[in-house]
Structure 1
Amino acid sequence: MTYVLIPGAGGSGAYWDLLVAELRRRGHDADAVDLPAADDTAALPEYAEVVRSAVGDRHGVTLVAQSLGAFTAPLVADDPRVSQVVLVNPMIPAPGETAGQWWEATGHAAARAAYAQAQGRDPHPDVDLMVDFFHDVAPDVTARALAGEAQPESAAVFTTPNPLRRWPDVPTRVVTGRDDRFFPAQFQRRLARERLDVDVDILPGGHLIALSQPRLLADQIESYQDRRGR
């Protein structure tokens, strides 16, 4: 199997390093894409072109997209070389919706607050990397991920009109972290049903599940090999 992996906010393909290593260990062709997130003029069409270049002349490609990467994946999935899409803790876009509009349109703030309150946490906190994202990631993996400067995200991705007009006719799976504090599992399930008419596959782990559970995530992604077209 061939996998091209699209990162979330910040655009660094290094996010996928553990999963790429695991997929390659199992004999798969896997590559992660670096998106031009540091370029404030780069928007979704530019992101999509980078991913198309990464697909290259390979066929039967599975696109795997994390979080914000779900805005880029459908713009490439109409390519006949792409056979399926796997979205991981995704921001599932509606046609024409910008990433900036997504938060209010989906009711994200209320869903995040309700989940925090149910867990006994402050329902209206500022975003905290350790609390919201790295709470289930091993300390050594966290240290490597946070080494160096934080990656920026292009402002154009959030404001430039999204060229998506309909979701491509390609099998699409959604993998949800059971313990995701930023995009709670029930929130993800609702969006997947409303926007893609699919259910989610739930794994233990938070928002950065490729860092906390790379083997389980590889198992789940591999399981779709025999389900393509279903």
Structure 2
Amino acid sequence: MSSSPHEIKNVVLVHGAFADGAGWRSVYDHLTSQGYRVTIVQNPLTSLEDDVAATTRVLDLQDGPTILVGHSWGGTVITEAGVHPAVVGLVYVAALAPDEGETTAQQYEGFAATPDFVIDVGDDGFGFLNRDAFKGGFAHDLDDADAAFLRDSQVPIDMSVFGTVVKNAAWRDKPTWAVIATKDKAFDQAMLRHMAERMDADITYVPGSHALYVSQADTVADTIKAAAHSASSREHQPAR
């Protein structure tokens, strides 16, 4: 089945903390099999500025309107980087969503702690998820082998990034979608709902862990496709 010449086909995927782009493989396979042009950002996780720069370089390579997707910390990154003119829609996957003038850390204030999500911080200020607690806190709905791969391919994040003030909130000007895992142990459910509702996002709830971009890849991909279809319709509405 051929697609409309006006249909948005560019998708950029942005991973979060303690992870790299490899976790997007199933989402990538789903989308590319249906004709989407998907590019995966590899964040250095050394600062918000560095991660936004990495994302912007990828956005600069796109040949037209693009859906920008972020998981977890990647939500903060797409909030800032999403002001790029190529971006016509934002998808937050179990993702953080600060506003302009806020830090990521502020999003946690007033919400319940998540004791299963254990971060070990080194003397250099970089954090890894605790090996013993990794599956329970991050990927409890994956099998042991897949959870172990994510655990053993972790990319540490400079914990100071959570105190960086966001300068731009792209979700204030661009249509937004959110996928929330109802068994996410990285964030309080009320926190995820609060962020998504504040953005006026189109929200999809799915059973899953914080690693829903792996365990619920089809639902995540379907949400991205819905965003692309909706944004395509907006882009080509006749002028009034």
Alignment TM-score, normalising by the size of structure 2: 0.78
1:3 is aligned to 2:8:
no
CA distance in 1, matches of 2:135, 2:74: 21
Residue identity matched to 1:35: N
1:13 is aligned to 2:31:
no
- Residue 126 and residue 89 in structure 1: after superposition, are their counterparts in 2 closer, same or farther (change >3 A)? closer
Q: Which residue of 1 aligns with 2:230?
A: 227
- Residue 165 and residue 212 in structure 1: after superposition, are their counterparts in 2 closer, same or farther (change >3 A)? closer
Superposed CA offset, 1:171-192 (max 9, x none): 1111111222222444322222
- Residue 134 and residue 101 in structure 1: after superposition, are their counterparts in 2 closer, same or farther (change >3 A)? same
Task: Please tell me whether the aligned partners of residues 11 and 153 of structure 1 are also in contact (alpha carbons under 8 angstroms).
Answer: no
For residue 4 of structure 1, report the CA deviation from its aligned partner: 0.6
Superposed CA offset, 1:40-72 (max 9, x none): xxx222211111111124211110100111111
For residue 209 of structure 1, report the CA deviation from its aligned partner: 0.6
Stretch deviating more after TM superposition (48-57 or 11-20): 11-20
Residue identity matched to 2:166: N
CA distance in 1, matches of 2:169, 2:191: 23
For residue 125 of structure 1, report the CA deviation from its aligned partner: 5.2
Stretch deviating more after TM superposition (218-227 or 78-87): 218-227
Q: How does 1:123-134 map to 2 (within 5 A)?
A: 124=115, 127=118, 128-134=133-139
1:160 is aligned to 2:164:
yes
Specify every segment of 5 or more residues in structure 2 that has no aligned partner in the other structure, as ranges.
1-8, 119-132, 236-240
Q: Which residue of 2 aligns with 1:121?
A: none
CA distance in 1, matches of 2:226, 2:117: 37
CA distance in 1, matches of 2:205, 2:72: 15
CA distance in 1, matches of 2:117, 2:210: 16
CA distance in 2, matches of 1:136, 1:47: 28
CA distance in 1, matches of 2:106, 2:194: 18
Q: Which residue of 1 aligns with 2:74?
A: 69
For residue 158 of structure 1, report the CA deviation from its aligned partner: 1.9
- Residue 184 and residue 26 in structure 1: after superposition, are their counterparts in 2 closer, same or farther (change >3 A)? farther
For residue 199 of structure 1, report the CA deviation from its aligned partner: 4.7
Matched residue SS, 1:21: helix
1:99 is aligned to 2:104:
yes
For residue 154 of structure 1, report the CA deviation from its aligned partner: 1.9
Specify every segment of 5 or more residues in structure 1 that has no aligned partner in the other structure, as ranges.
113-123
> Superposition RMSD on alpha carbons, in Å?
2.3
% same residue: 27
Q: Which has the higher strand share?
A: 2
Task: Please tell me whether the aligned partners of residues 174 and 199 of structure 1 are also in contact (alpha carbons under 8 angstroms).
Answer: yes
Residue identity matched to 1:169: D
Stretch deviating more after TM superposition (165-174 or 205-214): 165-174
Matched residue SS, 2:92: strand
Q: Which has the higher helix share?
A: 1
For residue 8 of structure 1, report the CA deviation from its aligned partner: 0.7
Alignment TM-score, normalising by the size of structure 1: 0.81
